[in-house]
Structure 1
Amino acid sequence: MTLSIHNTTDWEFSKLSRYGKEITAAVKKLVERFPNDLTLESVAQEIIGGNQQLWLILEGEEFKAFVTSEIKVNEATGHKTVQLMELAGDGGIDLVPMIETIEEWAISIGAHELTPMGREGWRKPLGRAGYRPKLVLYSKDLTHGR
């Protein structure tokens, strides 16, 4: 079976609701992994509020995974970036080839760059797709054992 990716922004509710249980389960796993960064409600609100676009990755008609994108515009320069935010479901780094469809969409809306956000494990597969690190985000937990 072949994988496909779909921007659901213009989908009818009835079409999207078919995947509701799988999307919710995938978001819950994401929230379990990043409880300080996300909630089920915050992810849903970003999508429902139009701040992020929901992309479904399907194998035939079956849910495989989803990714969200967010459009950022630097008001001072007009530079438009599409950021890939959340990825959840099955497939992980094997889904990187799906990024080409998002690249085409980003070009169609006048974006200047596409910036996937991810952990270090994404460096090699994204590198094979032409992506290089632009910035590195460092973090230190200040609440546990100094």
Structure 2
Amino acid sequence: MSKYTIYNASEWNLDRLGPYLSDVVHEMGRLADRFPGDVTTAALFQEFLSGRKTLWLILEGDRFVSMGMSSIRTVDATGQRIATLCDLAGRDVHNYAAELCAAVEAWAEQQNCGVFAVEGREGWKPLLAQYGYKPFAVLYRKTKVEADGNIH
């Protein structure tokens, strides 16, 4: 039996979530630092508060380990619903990956999603392959660098 438990914290009231809020905000900040052109701490927190993203807590007993966020989108052309684990920050992902995949997939099925996806670094490929995930598309980017050396 795993020592890690995965919780859909979007179902929690603020009193229950309170002890973990500083850890959650800290990890959101780490994501913002790592991807400054894509997210901010405030934007991630607002996506959770507004209900646009579901917040997942990974705990070892009562101790915070990691947080994740997922979203659901509907493909306009087909009506297909896709649940995506789109943000994950913390530690020890290899130790709870099976439980996290199972929890998010069960939640996605309850939300009538027929596709489960994960957005992540290429380094996740071997780990995710163990749980049936395969690359589907590749996102290519080119960043515009201005004459002042800043990225805009």
TM-score range, shorter chain: over 0.9
Residue 99 of structure 1 corresponds to which residue in structure 2? 101
Residue 20 of structure 2 corresponds to which residue in structure 1? 19
Partner of 1:111, secondary structure, is coil
The amino acid that maps onto 2:145 is T
In 2: Cα distance, 1:10 partner to 1:80 partner: 21
In 1: Cα distance, 2:129 partner to 2:82 partner: 18
In 2: Cα distance, 1:118 partner to 1:79 partner: 21
Partner of residue 115 from structure 2, selected from 102, 107, 113: 113
Residue 29 of structure 2 corresponds to which residue in structure 1? 28
CA shift at 1:30, angstroms?
Answer: 1.2
| RMSD between aligned residues | 1.5
Residue 136 of structure 2 corresponds to which residue in structure 1? 134
CA shift at 1:108, angstroms?
Answer: 1.6
1:77 aligns with 2:47: no
Partner of 2:72, secondary structure, is strand
TM-score by length of 1: 0.93
CA shift at 1:107, angstroms?
Answer: 1.1
In 1: Cα distance, 2:125 partner to 2:11 partner: 32
CA shift at 1:95, angstroms?
Answer: 3.4
Extract unaligned runs of 5+ from structure 1.
none
Residue 64 of structure 1 corresponds to which residue in structure 2? 65
The amino acid that maps onto 1:107 is E
CA shift at 1:93, angstroms?
Answer: 4.2
Percent pairwise identity: 33
In 1: Cα distance, 2:94 partner to 2:71 partner: 20
Partner of residue 126 from structure 2, selected from 124, 130, 145: 124
Contact 2:6 2:57 in 1 (8 A): yes
Runs of 4+ that moved beyond 6 A: none
Count of aligned residue pairs for this structure pair: 145
Partner of 1:18, secondary structure, is helix
